[in-house]
Amino acid sequence: PSRAAKVLMVGAGGIGCELLKTLALSGFSDIHVIDLDTIEVSNLNRQFLFRKSHVGQSKAHVARDAILKFRPNINIESHHANVKDAQFNVDFFKQFNVVLNGLDNLDARRHVNRLCLAAEVPLVESGTTGFLGQVTVHVKGKTECYECQPKPIPKSYPVCTITSTPSKFVHCIVWAKELLFAKLFGDKNQDNDLNVHSKDGSSSKLDVFERDVDEDLDQYAQRIYDHVFGYNIEVALENEETWKNRRRPNPVYIRDTLPEAVKQNGSSWDCSNDHEEPSAMASLGLTNPQEIWTLAENSRVLLEAFKLFFEKREKEIGNLVFDKDDQLAVEFVTAAANIRAHSFGIPLHSLFEAKGVAGNIVHAVATTNAIIAGLIVIEAIKVLQDDYKNYRMTYCLEHPTKKLLLMPVEPFEPNPSCYVCSETPLLLDVNTKVTKLKEVIDKIIKSKLGMNLPLVMIGSTLVFEDGDGLEEDEAANYALNLEKVLAELPAPVINGTKLTVEDFQQELSCSINIKHREEFDEEKEPDGMVLSGWSAPVEKQINSNGENKSAASSSSARATDDTVEDPSKPGMKRKLDELLETKENCDASSSAQVVEDDDDCTMLDGNPALIKKKRLQ
Amino acid sequence: LAPTSASREQLHAREGGVAIPHLVPLPLLGRSHRRETTASAAMAAAAAAAEPKTKYDRQLRIWGDQGQAALEKASICLLNCGPTGTEALKNLVLGGIGSVTVVDGSKVEQSDLGNNFLLDEGCLGQSRAKSICSFLQELNDAVKAKYVEESPATMIDTNPSFFSQFTVVLATQLPESSLLKLDSICRSANIVLVAARSYGLTGLVRVSIKEHCVIESKPDHSLDDLRLHNPWPELKQFAKSIDICDKDPVVHKHTPYIVILVRLAEKWADAHDGQLPSTRQEKREFKDLIRAHMLNVDEDNYKEAVESSYKVSVTPGISDEIRQIIDDSSSEVNFSSSDFWVLVASLKEFIANEGNGELPLEGTIPDMTSLTEVLCKLTKDLPS
């Protein structure tokens, strides 16, 4: 079957390289590859089709060239593009016999899932994190689609934990990244929760973070330092209630941590070297990223990094977004997070660890990807042969359970209440008098429902459309509608109204019934709206006779004593998900909490930037 | 004191890192506190140290510096570099293994092409080992890739001492007769042997290695055995000192679950002839007993007690597995015994003396819902 098949591979990274190799060696000769990324040094420990000399080039193209070297007579078409681009529409997908995913984010996976459903092409999904991995098969009508089981959403933190009461290092990192770094170097028009008022109101400025005209850089840096680590903490301490049951933070001032710096105004450390990347660590002679710096060292790094941004990268200020590959940004965030951690009695971390947390770096190794790639091809062959009774979801574990390192599980039937592959309407609780259409689109339609270019209709009235090719007056009209509260839209949205939401490209359409509610819990429902109606499926497996059996709910109860369930029974799937969702045993430096990926293929994924930003605002 | 949920993090110091015996971390990658005094020297050092750190970043986050050092100190011998061997070496080379030596006597033939991703048409007729090595070298120039153009069977027969220089011998597609000879060579030289064969969609991997020590620094299932089925005197006293029937809802919902279990286990034993729940039915009834004590539905401590109720049903004394180790002849130690067996010997003595037939306690307490002050007292009450 492999010779005749036309295969689409989405992703040419960790899994992609191994997969392309395995496909080629297994006789596949008609392959398309899509990947938007370019090659980075940190890829080279596992993405073996790439060399140092390829850094900066397109993964899709280089992968293709590398494979053709040992299999010159096969067809590989490489696309250096985003799979969400309009060119990859349903017609494009329809030409393939099977689609194989090697992606690193939930967003793209959902998008591909919808296109595969629309094109009626089977999808083999996969993901890896360190030594864990999985391969799953999704065939419309026969098995669950990728979205039948809700995927875990990435962890986000309540605003007050970040701004006032951090208790873990990751809270300090988020503060340093999303508040301090963003405030100083990012878009000035973004809302930011940092306290901008100064101590004595003596300065006429509204925003204490603004640099005074002709203010000396050293002085500016120290002033900001004292403001965020000293003054803001003192202000927070004034609220007794907050600290009744919590350890009180210690304000930190530059005069205490770096007394000599205060006197040395105007002279900076030796940074006269004009090498490529300005680095505070290099200027200060700190060479080991795995070393945990003292409070004084962190303070020096912070001030130095601060100054280097202004001295060497001034043009970028106002536009910077944190990037884990931006050495200076990582140094800045590490130092800031550490100083804050010190205040709050949280253990400090090395740059290496901090970078992992701040950059949501996922640990990765070649072997797991090789195993998963092999399993993908095995499932792909079954799919091509229509061998549906033998489709398996295979989980690659770190330690053998019941002597198995690879656990095959039969796929489940489609979830009848999955809004993606069936037709169930959803329910949205929202305050229609106060909530703007824009918020519903951002928080629900694009974010939770994963639509890329949605269209919103109420009855026959089109209130919003996204995409190119809009007329000027249409676009203006939609822009106006975005700012209107639901109840005041041209077709008013009130209790009981039904919204129809569509994404043409994904060929996904669903209905949302509106329920008007006035009160929302700030902590539990911070979005001010709640989407429901998408329930977890009753576990029905297709057994080897092709019959369906439902799981009795008692058999899927989690065992509280140590018996491990048989992998072929239902309920095992849930147990596996629980097993796979714990990440404690993953990293060597136990303190780093790796949240989800940014770089390579994982199972537990999400779009951190999207969700975290929204939490904080 | 207002009630708080105390957690393990706040009470215990961080654990140390993984201890791998016999290996010394390379200075370049180890934790170093030496500082260069001039900025330019610092930059050069930073640049030199940075590159492997960047390249290996994602795997360093799995096994850390010491794991990486272990890899870089190791030398691998591959016998037969067909697709199986090549695939294995690819992974090791990418990861930064110290050196690889390929032993393969064959030349690259037509049948190798398209079958082995490290060979292309230009290699036809050349030594397969040599071709593989040069491709491997491209994958990672930090690895020393060498080859010997010789058939593995011949090497095994005529030059067994060749193998003693390696850490691991990876034997692929070798017949059993060769493997048997190789195994005894490796065992006597204390080298790890990994034998692999693959046929179509099936394959086999066997590891042959002498007894060695593996330290699980972060076990998945920590036993947190407080020996609830046979509490030591101070714990019994402590449990007695707490009134589990205190109607105050705050106090009631913060009684540590181990206290609940100790008290209720005692209550059960009193009503059952000194026996603790053992049959399935009894265990269920015991859980019901715990639930009957709940004042209201959101008491986490009682939920914890129900979840951990099986701990009182643990068979007393020492498990068979541990008994087997203790009774092993290696526990009669002498000056050449390994650390592990010395520890076993001491354990054996403890059980016979202070332990009274029981194992020592772990000395830590698990996370549980409680009042801070209660937890602190509990920690103090642990036997030293």
Q: What is the CATH number of the domain that holds B165?
A: 3.40.50.720
Q: Is A114 annotated as a binding residue?
A: no
Return the residue of A nearest to B201 by Cα: A378
A–B: how many Cβ contacts below 8 A? 148
B53/A365 Cβ within 8 A = no
Shared domain for B326 and B312, answered yes or no, is no
Q: Which residues of B touch A24 (CB under 8 A)?
A: 114, 117
Q: Which chain B residue has its CA at the smallest distance from A598's CA?
A: B58
For the entire predicted model, the pTM comes to: 0.73
Inter-chain touch A588–B310, beta carbons under 8 Å: no
Residue in B54, B58, B143, B284 to test binding to A, most A beta-carbons within 10 Å: B58
Chain B nearest-CA distance from A549, in A, is: 28
Cα separation, B320 vs B325, in Å, equals 9
CATH fold group of domain A6-153+363-409: Rossmann fold (3.40.50)
Residues from chain A contacting residue B202 (CB–CB below 8 Å): none
Range of the domain at B254: 233-316+362-380
Sign of the dihedral through C-alpha A215, A218, A220, A222? negative
Residue contact B38–A586, C-beta within 8 A: no
Q: Which residues of chain A have pLDDT under 70?
A: 1, 153, 197-206, 262-276, 534-617
Query: How distant is the Cα of B333 from the closest Cα of chain A, in angstroms?
Result: 32
Last residue of a domain, one of B208, B225, B248: B208
- Does B2 fall in a domain? no
Percent of chain B with pLDDT over 70: 78
For the stretch B134-162, pLDDT in tens is: 999 999 989 999 999 999 999 999 999 99
Interchain proximity A361–B61, CB inside 8 Å: yes
**A299 Cα distance to chain centroid:** 30
Cα(B294)–Cα(A319) distance, integer angstroms: 57
**B248 in any annotated domain:** yes
> Measured between CB atoms, does B198 come within 8 Å of chain A?
no
Specify whether B183 is located in the same domain as B132. Answer: yes
Nearest CA in chain A to B372: A245
Taking the Cβ of residue B216 and every Cβ of chain A, the question of whether any pair is shorter than 8 Å is answered with no
Partner residue facing B94 (CB), from A285, A366, A587: A366
Contact B62 A586 (CB under 8 A): yes
Question: Would you say residue B134 lies in a domain?
Answer: yes
* pLDDT at B29 (0 to 100): 32
Q: What is the CA radius of gyration of chain B?
A: 29
B2 contacts in chain A (CB < 8 Å): 244-245
pLDDT of residue A387: 93
**B63 to A588: CB separation less than 8 angstroms, yes or no:** yes
Count of domains for chain B: 3
Nearest C-alpha in A relative to B283? A561
- Token pair for residue B267? 């209550």
Residue B57 included in any domain:
no
Range among A581-590, B50-59, B82-91, B238-247 rated most confident:
B82-91
One domain, residues B348 and B285:
no
Residue of B2, B62, B138 lying closest to A587 (CB–CB): B62
B247 and B150 share one domain: no
In a domain, B39, yes or no: no
Q: How far is B353 from chain A (nearest CA, A)?
A: 31
The single residue of A17, A160, A271, A586 carrying the catalytic annotation is A160
Of A161-165, B218-222, B262-266, the range with the lowest mean pLDDT is B218-222
Chain B residues 128-157 with CB within 8 Å of chain A: 138-140
Per-position DSSP letters for A403-467, written without gaps between them:
TEEEEEEPPBPPPTT-TTTS---EEEEE-TTT-BHHHHIIIIIIIIS--SSEEEEETTEEEEE-S
- In a domain, residue B14? The reply is no
How much is the pLDDT for B351? 86
Name which CATH class applies to A159-199+207-259+276-359. mainly alpha
Q: Angle between the B57-73 and B39-55 helix axes, to the nearest 10 degrees?
A: 90
Burial class (CB in 10 A: 0-12, 13-18, 19+), A315: exposed
Same domain, B307 and B329: no
Domain end point (choices B139, B173, B208): B208
Given B43, B54, B91, which is nearest A41 (Cβ)?
Answer: B54
Locate B185 and state its tokens: 């060579």
**Helix/strand/coil (H, E, C) string of chain B?**
CCCCCCCHHHHCCCCCCCCCCCCCCCCCCCCCCCCCCCHHHHHHHHHHHHHHHHHCHHHHHHHHHHHHHHHHHCEEEEECCCHHHHHHHHHHHHHCCCEEEEECCCECCHHHCCCCCCCCHHHCCCEHHHHHHHHHHHHCCCCEEEEECCCHHHHHHHCHHHHHHCCEEEEECCCHHHHHHHHHHHHHCCCEEEEEEEECCEEEEEEECCCCCCCCCCCCCCCCCCCCCCCCHHHHHHHHHCCCCCCCHHHHHCCCHHHHHHHHHHHHHHHCCCCCCCCHHHHHHHHHHHHHCCCCCCCHHHHHHHHCHHHHHCCCCCCHHHHHHHHCHHHCCCCCCCHHHHHHHHHHHHHHCCCCCCCCCCCCCCCCCCCHHHHHHHHHHCCC
With CB atoms and an 8 Å threshold, state whether B121 touches A600.
no
Decide if B310 and A561 are in contact by the 8 Å CB cutoff.
yes
Cβ neighbours of A326 in B, within 8 Å: none
Compute the average pLDDT of residues B120-129.
Answer: 92
Selected residues 290-319 of chain B with any CB under 8 Å from a CB in chain A: 306-307, 309-310
Please state whether B223 falls in left (phi above 0), alpha (psi between -120 and 50) or beta: alpha
The residue of B10, B14, B51, B62 whose CB has the most chain A CBs within 10 angstroms, and thus the best one to mutate to test that interface, is B62
* Consecutive H or E run containing A550: strand A548-550
Give the per-residue pLDDT at A305. Answer: 94
Does B125 share its domain with B197?
A: yes
Answer whether A287 sits within 8 Å of B119, measured CB to CB: no
CA-based nearest residue in chain A for residue B58: A363
Cross-chain residue pair B61–A365, CB shorter than 8 Å: no
Same domain, B142 and B171: yes
Check CB contact under 8 Å for B139 and A594: no
Cα-based angle A243, A247, A253 (whole degrees, multiple of 5)? 95
Query: Closest partner residue to A356 among B53, B61, B115, by Cβ?
Result: B61
pLDDT at B65: 87
Pick from A17, A48, A55, A281 the residue to mutate for testing the B interface (most B CBs within 10 Å): A48
Contact of B110 with chain A, judged by CB distance below 8 Å, is answered with no
Annotated catalytic residue A160: yes
Q: Is A551 within 8 Å of A540 (Cβ atoms)? A: yes
Q: Which residue of A has its CA nearest to B64?
A: A588
Q: Which of residues 255-274 of B touch A (CB under 8 A)?
A: none
Whether the CB of B53 is below 8 Å from some CB of chain A: the reply is yes
Instruction: Tell whether B237 and B376 lie within a shared domain.
Output: yes
Tell whether residue A11 is among the known ligand binding residues.
yes
Q: Is A429 annotated as a binding residue?
A: no
B4 contacts in chain A (CB < 8 Å): 245
- Which chain A residues are Cβ-neighbours of B32 within 8 angstroms? 287-288, 291
- Which among A72, A366, A590 has the least Cβ separation from residue B218? A590
* Same domain (yes/no): B306, B168: no
Q: Per the annotation, does A107 bind a ligand? A: yes
DSSP state of A318: T
Judged by a CB distance cut-off of 8 A, whether residue B225 touches chain A is no
Query: Which residue ranges make up each domain of chain A?
Result: 6-153+363-409, 159-199+207-259+276-359, 426-532
Chain A hits for B36, Cβ within 8 Å? 285, 287
Nearest by CB to A245, which of B2, B139, B307?
Answer: B2
Q: What is the mean pLDDT of chain B?
A: 79
Quick one: closest CA in A to B118, which residue? A70
A55 contacts A40 by C-beta, under 8 angstroms:
yes
- From A427's Cα to the closest Cα of chain B, the distance in A is 29
Do B333 and B312 lie in one domain? The reply is no
Q: Is the pLDDT of residue B6 over 60?
A: no
Does A13 appear as a known binding residue? Answer: yes
Q: For residue A521, which of A614, A431, A397 has the smallest C-alpha distance?
A: A431
CATH 3.10.290.20 fits A426-532, yes or no: yes
Cβ–Cβ gap B57/A45 under 8 Å: yes
* pLDDT at position A302: 95
CB contact under 8 A, B33 and A71: no
Per the domain annotation, does B242 fall within a domain?
yes
